[in-house]
Amino acid sequence: MELIGQSAKCVVLLLLTAVSVQSVFVEPPQPITSLRSMAESQTRLPCRYQVQAGEKVVQATWYKELPDGSKEQIITAHFRDGHTEFGRYSGRVRFEGGSPTENSALLILSTEESDEGSYACHISTFPNGNFERHITLTVWILPISSLEPVVLEEGQSFRLAASCRAVGRPPPLLSWDTDLPGQSSNRSNVGGSVSSYFSLHPLRSMNGKRLDCLVWHPGLEQPRRISNSLVVHYPPDATISADTDDWFAGLENAELVCSSGGNPKPDNITWTRGGGALPDGASVIGGRLVFGRALRLNDSGVYECVVRNKVGAGKTEYKLAVTETSHRTSPIDNQLLIIIGAAAGALVMVLVIVVLLVNRYHRHRNKKLERELSEKTEEINSFSRQASFRRLNSVSTDSRVPPEDYTMLRVDSRMKNSEMSLAQQEEGAEPREPDPGQPREGDPTPPEEEWAPTPSAEEEQDNDDTDSSSYQISEALTNHFYYSNGVLRPKPHSNAILLHPRGQII
């Protein structure tokens, strides 16, 4: 009994010792960790134990935990016996480090979908016992996708234009990138595959338009694009063209060209004239109707071109009317017209240049004449001012009469003589009453006033000149002087020189 009691005490001590010892893992730090990997890629399952003082890792082992609770051994490494791989994992796994007891991370070289599940890293130490870390692995499969186009024909009812399919883990998403008016529908299938269908009403204008399928998956940085162009078949449209519309007898190398659209490209082109055979010398080369000889008057008629593809046929007509002569001008006439037009253009340009030069010359000459006229006018004005100054300075300086009074008397005398002369010219030979202010013939000569100065020879000459040119002086006085308070005063002028009665320039 005592032995049994001592054994029980030892077991309890061992259990307490095991409970008191805590494991130290560098990675993963948590007891349970989740990871994700891609199929057909390398997967790393981390496991690194940090030994304590006096502790040693004896063995490291990886297990896969099965759904029924059992464990499947993958690989093990003993500090003395080395490592061993088991079952289907042989050749597919290995330890990351060269010393598995120090770095026990597991590498799955090519991950498969079946590798998804829970894994355990078991570390056996001495003297502290065993420790574990659990890792849950999720395996993603990049989608495998495909697109199946459908060839449509114009005139068909609303129908499927293309279908897109993809398989992956997790299941991908599908969409369409197109400007075509249509409808799409998606469907999920067992095993992670999805399908998308695009339907529309086909028209020839849709042919060649973009209809791309986009595959979305969390394992892809951006959606995968499957490029596709819609194919719509439609019958051809025939058209006939020609290099000229001047058909005349004798025309060489005459031909008609039949063009056609359509999808697919037409594989048959036929020519007829009026529903019958072509004229002699005309042959069909591809889509061209070629006359291998000079054109004749009897080649006139209605020519028909018919083009066909596997969808349908198209036809068109061309009325060819051959005339005896050409209604177009010859190349020589065209060249002559071009030469005449060029010469006329050159002549007009020369005339324009001549007119511009003459106009410039006249402007320059007018400016020169204006400048010379201005200089002459200034010179005449200067001479006139100098002559007036000299005549005013020639007035007598008799001390008995003040110079200003004598000047006024002399101007007054000239003014009266000018008025008399003007009156005589206006009345002609008609008699007029004598001026009471003037001496009559036969009257005694009035005595000279004491203040009147004795005229000099120069003054007498001036009086004679004044009598002979009274009209001119009258005009000059009228233009340049005016009466004010019984005094004759000069009119203001921009070029006038004002003189003081004593001969000083103001």
pLDDT at position 370 is: 86
pLDDT at position 364 is: 87
The C-alpha atoms of residue 224 and residue 284 are separated, in whole angstroms, by 50
Q: Examine residue 440 and state whether it is found in any structural domain, yes or no.
A: no
The C-alpha atoms of residue 466 and residue 312 are separated, in whole angstroms, by 123
Same domain, 379 and 399: no
pLDDT at position 459 is: 45
- Identify the residue whose tokens are 């086909």: 202
Q: Examine residue 106 and state whether it is found in any structural domain, yes or no.
A: yes
Token output for 394 = 């020639």
Q: Examine residue 373 and state whether it is found in any structural domain, yes or no.
A: yes
Token output for 183 = 């409808």
Same domain, 25 and 132: yes
Token output for 487 = 């005094």
pTM: 0.54
Q: Examine residue 6 and state whether it is found in any structural domain, yes or no.
A: no
pLDDT at position 4 is: 37
pLDDT at position 440 is: 45
Extended beta strands in 189-338, E state: 193-200, 211-216, 224-226, 231-233, 238-241, 255-260, 268-273, 282-285, 288-291, 301-308, 313-320
Q: Please say whether the beta carbons of 105 and 44 come within 8 A.
A: yes
Same domain, 243 and 287: yes
The one-letter amino acid code at 67 reads: P
Name, in order, each residue with C-beta under 8 angstroms of 322's C-beta and a sequence gap of 6 or more.
247, 248, 249, 295, 296, 297, 298, 299, 300
Same domain, 28 and 115: yes
- Greatest extent of the chain over all pairs of C-alpha atoms, in Å: 208
Same domain, 156 and 105: no
Boundary residue ending a domain (77, 111, 140): 140
Same domain, 247 and 181: no
Same domain, 27 and 114: yes
First to last CA, the chain: 165
Q: Examine residue 4 and state whether it is found in any structural domain, yes or no.
A: no
Q: Examine residue 211 and state whether it is found in any structural domain, yes or no.
A: yes
Boundary residue ending a domain (184, 208, 233): 233
Same domain, 228 and 243: no
pLDDT at position 250 is: 92
Same domain, 292 and 261: yes
Q: Please say whether the beta carbons of 92 and 107 come within 8 A.
A: no
Distances (CA, A) of 13 to 21, 128, 130, 131, 238: 12, 13, 17, 19, 104
- Cα radius of gyration rounded to whole Å, the chain: 66
pLDDT at position 413 is: 52
Structural domain containing residue 506: 394-424+455-506
Q: Please say whether the beta carbons of 135 and 35 come within 8 A.
A: yes
Boundary residue ending a domain (121, 140, 159): 140
151-153/231-233 β-pairing: parallel
Q: Examine residue 415 and state whether it is found in any structural domain, yes or no.
A: yes
Alpha carbon 227 to chain centroid, angstroms: 31
Same domain, 406 and 498: yes
CATH classification of the domain holding 66: 2.60.40.10
Q: Which long-range contacts (CB under 8 A, 24 or more apart) does 442-450 make?
A: 450/400
| Chunked mean pLDDT (size 10), the chain, 506 residues | 39 37 78 93 94 90 93 92 90 90 93 94 92 95 95 95 95 96 92 93 96 95 96 94 91 92 90 91 91 93 94 93 80 75 90 91 88 84 73 51 46 52 48 43 41 44 48 63 66 58 48
Same domain, 247 and 357: no
pLDDT at position 310 is: 92
Q: Examine residue 335 and state whether it is found in any structural domain, yes or no.
A: no
Secondary structure class of 48 (helix, strand, coil): strand
The number of domains in the chain is 5
Same domain, 201 and 262: no
